[in-house]
Amino acid sequence: NPKCELAPDVINNSWGGGSGSNWYQANVDAWRAAGIIPVFANGNAGPNCGTANSPGDYKNVIGVGAVGVDDKLASFSSRGPTKDGRVKPDVSAPGNQVRSAWRTGNNAY
């Protein structure tokens, strides 16, 4: 008896497989049917065109690329077009040289 009112609105993911793979499609379709918006990293296979990875290259997800401190697409960030000719990433966000916390040992998070 799931409590649908507790379901997330957005699920953010940074995992995936090769370009054009449908491995995750059933999960993504189930999330979309439940009203959940899936967001996936577009991949780290740049700088060439046609390197967008799945599931970031799916039609029904928001694919996110990485930009550097100069606001330009990071060289490693995957990009479209997808296998069926669509533009990806859908949006880009800071993903290189981002100031953040850092662990100081193997047992620190």
Dump pLDDT digits (tens) for 48-72. 999 999 999 999 999 999 999 899 9
By the 8 A CB rule, do 40 and 14 touch? Answer: yes
| Beta strand extents in the chain (DSSP E only) | 10-13, 37-41, 62-67, 91-94
pLDDT at 1: 56
Return the closest-CA partner of residue 58 out of 43, 76, 47: 43
* pLDDT at res. 16: 74
- Looking at the chain, list the stretches that DSSP marks H as alpha helix, in order from N- to C-terminal side: 25-33
CB atoms closer than 10 angstroms to residue 40:
26
Angle at 88 between CA 99 and CA 25, to 5 degrees: 100
